[in-house]
């Protein structure tokens, strides 16, 4: 209550003064208005707050609180002759001709900032009687709370410029308070009272009242168009775009709100202020604007894509721009009547559509790039981001790396860390698909740094980062990280917005981890769960089927794998692969390479001694579109075929190169998946001794053994011949004697002969018991 007592003392000093005129000159917030209200009660007269003195006023005293917006005030002593006391409060910048003469000649009592400061023991810590004098008020009392808010609004906020009000609003809405006095140079008293004001206002209740007052002042200004526009722009420039747009929307000024939304990024605003702010802004537009305005329609379509609702995004676009806007070739035609912004969004939407990008389409897309101004950093970055995705799908990694570098540069120039994060994630995916775990690690670290710069919560993007980190950990021999992600975060991840290249990435690593560390059934169940979420996307369904076939092969369900591959209606089938040679090196379509890869693996298992098989594998290795992971698998198959055909020396050389490359790039996951072939190779003491003589190969082999790669084959563990193992696996899949005979090219009686031998070696008498032994010994993963 000392502050209130000090005001009372000042009021008594003014009342007891022998001088008729009292002039109070002080900056905003020093307590002038509060002192006048005290005097108003003492003299029982109102306070005049108009720019001109009220000539009709009556009473013992005249109290005049000159408004801050007044620059020069006319002073006529004749008006005040009938009053005993005249108290005039003004700011230093307000000129009142005639007052200065009274002050100089001592005819007026002059009070300034110094007089209004509250004396304390430490002269360095003195506080004015304005804003801080109310810190001690009972905020539980609704009336006092209202008075405090009214005081803040009228005395502190109303005189501020648009930018000053925006800065103050920013401070009281989630930004630092303590130590932020430097952000308020427009409040002159802050230098003296920063610690007191800012510390007090850091408290939740007081801070809330100031926030309410600021919101009310913003609402008041938004009622006038001439004040609304500069205030909205100031809020935007101070970093509160959402508040600026929502204020305009609340005031019914939708056109300015749309213009400000477009200036703030439009469709890219979701990456700048986050999905929650993006959703709130879009929901604030009327149905008419939402259905007709190009910027808002595109933004709503982008929001649909982020929710995985590609069909809804297409409908919004078709309703606004016509059905022809769904045809990319029409949109990117040279005479197409679409804006650059719409073309940019249409390109992004192609990422989520079931579209194969042809060379002709790439030409049109690059024509669009030529139309973009050099300073359009977001649009240029968006272009490179989209073509980057297309290049990754087509396994054109060199072009993808160049597009990533361009996108990274553009997004950095635009100053949007979340978009830079996306590019780093893409680069990490490229390196992992290329079999370069070491290079992927540096890009993941960079992605993590840029994610930390994002100024809002983005759970979906944080989840993507955790997936990439988990896959990298898997390459490093730490499968538990990826298993935990699959168990705890898979469902949320699969239902959110995902890029096709990232989905394929998740399919591959997830199914491999479950197959290796749990069972084939759990891996196939994982793929089935993806089917539920990707029922309409042909490319993703194809990826799922290919992965299912490879998982079956890994689990020694080779007949089921062959049936799955045969059911895929494609030009590339088993017959084509068996007859192909140099054509394998020329395959360029991603889907065709994947099918050829799976069929070639099947053939290596079934007929490793087939003529020219080594040349076919070598041709596939030479294919530029084969990933680094696939190339390592192909090298293992080649070594396997060479060993089976009696060329152990060549097999050792191939394996040596493969291990050296794996050690250089820190990649072991492709080797784990080829345990069926690698286990037999390393079970040969001549090959194992030669390969392990080199340090890099020895380190890789140690890591493989730590992650569960078997050092012994089924043949070595069981004592069965290769033919008997083959027959055992086939009966485990339910194959009849007739089917086995046809597949192996032998008679049914020969099949029965082999069955008799394997029953004897396993200690069985019938088929069911042999299957039980195979399962018990984990030969069927």
Complete DSSP assignment for 185-214: TTSTTHHHHHHHHHHHHTSHHHHHHHHHHH
**Using one digit for the tens of pLDDT, what is the confidence trace for 510-530?**
888 888 877 788 888 888 877
Q: Which of 33-42, 81-90, 113-122 has the lowest mean pLDDT?
A: 113-122
What are the beta bridge partners of residue 61? 85
**Per-residue pLDDT tens digits for 260-308:** 999 999 999 999 999 999 999 999 999 999 999 999 999 999 999 888 7
Return the pLDDT at 684: 78
Largest CA distance in the chain: 133
Of 123-132, 146-155, 346-355, 647-656, the range with the highest mean pLDDT is: 647-656
| pLDDT above 90 as % of the chain | 29
Name the average pLDDT for the chain: 82
Q: Average pLDDT, stretch 415-435?
A: 92
pLDDT for 448 beyond 90: yes
Residue-level pLDDT at 239: 81
Going by pLDDT thresholds of 50, 70 and 90, the confidence category of residue 781 is low
> What is residue 288's three-state secondary structure?
helix
**What pLDDT, on a 0 to 100 scale, did the predictor assign at position 2?**
36
Is-above-0.75 flag for pTM? no
Least confident span in 115-124, 453-462, 661-670: 115-124
pLDDT of the residue at 117: 67
Q: Both tokens of residue 324?
A: 């022809």
C-alpha–C-alpha distance, residues 365 and 367, integer Å: 5
pLDDT at 124: 40
C-alpha closest to that of 106 among 204, 46, 40, 17: 17
Q: What is the pLDDT of residues 359-396, one digit of tens each?
A: 888 888 999 999 999 999 999 999 999 999 989 888 88
Over 80: is that where the pLDDT of 766 sits?
Answer: yes
Place of tokens 């579209």: 355
Instruction: Name which of 327, 300, 323, 328 is nearest 312 in CA terms.
Output: 300
Query: Residue 25 belongs to what H/E stretch?
Result: strand 21-25
Residues in contact with 367: Cβ distance below 8 Å, sequence separation at least 6, in sequence order: 332, 334
Closest CA to 599 of 618, 576, 569: 576
DSSP character at residue 78: G
Residue 198 has pLDDT above 50, yes or no: no
> Which pLDDT tens digit goes with each residue over 220-266?
887 777 788 888 888 888 788 888 898 889 888 889 999 999 999 99
Q: In the structure, what pLDDT confidence band is assigned to residue 769 with cuts at 50, 70 and 90?
A: confident
The three-state secondary structure class of 536 is: coil
DSSP SS3 for 552: helix
In this predicted structure, what is the pLDDT of residue 707? 58
Tens of pLDDT, residue by residue over 456-484, are: 888 888 989 999 999 998 888 788 888 88
Q: Please give the pLDDT value at position 100.
A: 76
Residue 315 has pLDDT above 90, yes or no: yes
Cα–Cα distance for residue pair 144/133, rounded to 1 Å: 13
Q: What pLDDT score was predicted for residue 176?
A: 44
488, pLDDT greater than 70 = yes
How many CA atoms lie within 13 Å of 643's alpha carbon, on the beta-carbon side? 24
Which 3 state secondary structure label does DSSP give 608?
A: coil
What does the pLDDT read at residue 620?
95
* Separation between Cα atoms, residue 406 and residue 574, nearest integer Å: 41
Strand partners, 24: 89, 111
Could you give the percent of the chain with pLDDT greater than 70?
86
Query: Which helix H or strand E contains 109, and what residues bound it?
Result: strand 108-111
> Pairing mode, if any, of strands 21-25 and 108-111?
parallel
Neighbours of 603 (CB within 10 A): 20
């Amino acid at each position: 209550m000392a502050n209130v007592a000090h005001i009372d003392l000042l009021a008594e000093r003014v009342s007891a003064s022998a001088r008729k005129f009292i002039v109070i000159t002080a900056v905003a917030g020093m307590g002038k208005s509060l002192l006048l209200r005290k005097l108003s009660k003492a003299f029982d007269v109102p306070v005049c707050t108009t720019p001109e003195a009220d000539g009709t006023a009556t009473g013992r005293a005249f109290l005049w609180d000159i408004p801050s917006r007044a620059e020069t005030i006319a002073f006529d002593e004749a008006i005040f002759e009938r009053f005993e006391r005249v108290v005039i409060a003004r700011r230093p910048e307000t000129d009142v001709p005639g007052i200065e003469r009274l002050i100089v000649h001592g005819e007026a009592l002059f009070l300034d900032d110094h007089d209004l400061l509250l004396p304390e023991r430490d002269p360095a810590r003195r506080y004015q009687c304005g804003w801080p004098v109310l810190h001690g008020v009972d905020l539980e009392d609704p009336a006092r709370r209202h008075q405090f808010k009214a005081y803040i609004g009228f005395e502190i906020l109303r005189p501020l410029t648009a930018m000053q009000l925006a800065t103050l609003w920013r401070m009281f809405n989630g930004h630092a308070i303590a130590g932020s006095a430097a952000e308020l140079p427009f409040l002159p008293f802050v230098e003296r009272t920063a610690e007191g004001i800012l510390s007090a206002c850091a408290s939740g209740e007081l801070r809330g009242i100031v926030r309410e007052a600021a919101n009310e002042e913003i609402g008041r200004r938004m009622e006038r168009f001439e004040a609304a526009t500069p205030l909205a722009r100031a809020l935007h420039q101070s970093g509160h775009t959402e508040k600026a747009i929502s204020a305009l929307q609340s005031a019914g000024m939708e056109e300015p709100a749309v213009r400000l939304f477009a200036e703030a990024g439009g469709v890219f605003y979701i990456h700048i202020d986050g999905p929650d702010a993006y959703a709130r802004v879009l929901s604030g537009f009327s149905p008419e604007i939402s259905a007709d305005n190009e910027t808002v329609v595109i933004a709503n379509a982008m929001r649909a894509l982020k929710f995985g609702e590609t069909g809804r995004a297409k409908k919004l676009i078709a309703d606004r721009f016509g059905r022809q806007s769904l045809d990319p070739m029409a949109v990117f035609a040279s005479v197409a009547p679409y804006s650059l912004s719409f073309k940019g969004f249409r390109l992004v939407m192609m990422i989520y559509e079931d579209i194969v990008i042809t060379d002709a389409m790439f030409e049109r897309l690059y024509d669009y790039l030529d139309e973009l101004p050099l300073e359009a950093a977001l649009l240029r970055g968006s272009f490179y981001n989209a073509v980057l995705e297309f290049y990754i799908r087509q396994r054109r990694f060199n072009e993808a790396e160049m597009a990533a570098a361009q996108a990274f540069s553009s997004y950095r120039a635009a100053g949007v860390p979340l978009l830079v994060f996306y590019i780093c994630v893409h680069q990490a995916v490229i390196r992992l698909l290329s079999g370069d775990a070491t290079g992927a690690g540096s890009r993941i670290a960079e992605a993590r740094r840029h994610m930390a710069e994002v100024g809002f919560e983005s759970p979906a993007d944080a989840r993507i980062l955790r997936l990439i980190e988990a896959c990298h950990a898997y390459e490093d021999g730490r499968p538990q990280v990826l298993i935990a992600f699959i168990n705890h975060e898979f469902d949320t991840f699969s239902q959110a917005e995902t890029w096709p290249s990232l989905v394929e990435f998740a399919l591959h690593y997830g199914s491999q981890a479950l197959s290796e560390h749990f069972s084939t059934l759990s891996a196939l169940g994982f793929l089935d769960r993806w089917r539920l979420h990707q029922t309409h996307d042909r490319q993703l369904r194809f990826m799922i089927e290919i992965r299912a076939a490879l998982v079956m092969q890994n689990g020694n369900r080779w007949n089921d794998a062959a049936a799955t591959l045969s059911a895929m209606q494609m030009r590339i089938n088993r017959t084509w692969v068996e007859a192909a040679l140099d054509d394998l090196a020329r395959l360029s379509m991603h889907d065709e390479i994947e099918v050829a890869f799976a069929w070639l693996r099947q053939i290596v298992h079934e007929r490793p001694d087939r003529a020219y098989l080594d040349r076919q594998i070598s041709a596939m290795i030479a294919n530029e579109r084969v990933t680094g992971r696939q190339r390592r698998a192909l090298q293992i198959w080649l070594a396997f075929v060479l060993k089976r055909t009696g060329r152990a020396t060549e097999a050792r050389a191939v394996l040596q190169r493969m291990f050296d490359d794996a050690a250089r790039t820190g990649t072991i996951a492709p080797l784990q998946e080829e345990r069926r072939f690698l286990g037999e190779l390393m079970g040969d003491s001549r090959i194992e001794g030669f390969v392990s003589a080199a340090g890099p190969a020895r380190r890789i082999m140690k890591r493989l053994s730590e992650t569960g790669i078997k050092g012994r084959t089924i043949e070595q563990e069981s004592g069965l011949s290769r033919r008997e193992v083959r027959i055992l696996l086939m009966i485990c899949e339910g194959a009849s004697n007739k089917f086995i005979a046809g597949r192996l090219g032998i008679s049914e009686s020969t099949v029965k002969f082999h069955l008799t031998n394997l029953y004897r070696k396993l200690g069985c008498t019938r088929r069911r018991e042999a299957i039980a032994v195979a399962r018990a010994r984990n030969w069927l993963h």
